[in-house]
């Protein structure tokens, strides 16, 4: 699967659980860590956890898994590392505080 297709598929999956204001950023030309960041929010810690678990379940069914998951227990900021796509799911106040979109302002936003 092409990296952009993988990122867009992850975007589609998190939208199934009503992820708030998802943003897909192409960061490959700015970072050696990954090609894409997918940033989204939930309106509660429970919604953040539900988005994360749903994404893991659906990607496992399709045939790929994250190499790492951080923060799911608290549900404030869950990071799912799929290698070429890193997904950040925030509880909204934490998203505003950390402002990843502002930190990666030079990254290209992918329309969806």
In the chain, the domains with their CATH numbers are 3-110 (3.30.460.10)
CA 107, CA 27: separation in Å to the nearest integer? 5
Residue 86 CB neighbours (<10 A): 23
CA 60, CA 74: separation in Å to the nearest integer? 22
Q: What is the pLDDT of residue 18?
A: 96
Q: What is the pLDDT of residue 11?
A: 97
Q: Considering only CA atoms, which of 37, 56, 44, 2 is closest in space to residue 19?
A: 44
CA 19, CA 14: separation in Å to the nearest integer? 6
Average pLDDT, the chain: 95
Q: What is the pLDDT of residue 111?
A: 85
Per-residue pLDDT at 112 exceeds 90: no
Report, as an integer, the average pLDDT of 3-25.
96
Q: Considering only CA atoms, which of 101, 89, 93, 21 is closest in space to residue 51?
A: 89
pLDDT tens track for 23-75? 999 999 999 999 999 999 999 999 999 999 999 999 999 999 999 999 999 99
Residue 111 CB neighbours (<10 A): 5
What share of the chain in percent tops pLDDT 70? Answer: 99
Instruction: Kindly list the strands in the beta sheet with 77-81, ordered across the sheet, starting from the edge strand earlier in the chain.
Output: 68-70, 77-81, 85-91, 36-42, 20-26, 108-110
């Amino acid at each position: 699967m092409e990296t952009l297709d993988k990122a867009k598929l992850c975007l589609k999956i998190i939208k199934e659980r009503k992820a708030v204001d998802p943003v897909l950023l192409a960061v490959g030309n700015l970072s050696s860590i990954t090609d894409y960041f997918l940033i989204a929010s939930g309106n509660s810690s429970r919604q953040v956890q539900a988005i994360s678990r749903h994404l893991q379940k659906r990607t496992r069914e399709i045939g790929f898994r994250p190499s790492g998951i951080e923060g799911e227990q608290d549900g404030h900021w869950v990071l799912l590392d799929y290698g070429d796509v890193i997904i950040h799911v925030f509880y909204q106040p934490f998203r505003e505080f950390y402002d990843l979109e502002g930190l990666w302002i030079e990254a290209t936003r992918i329309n969806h």
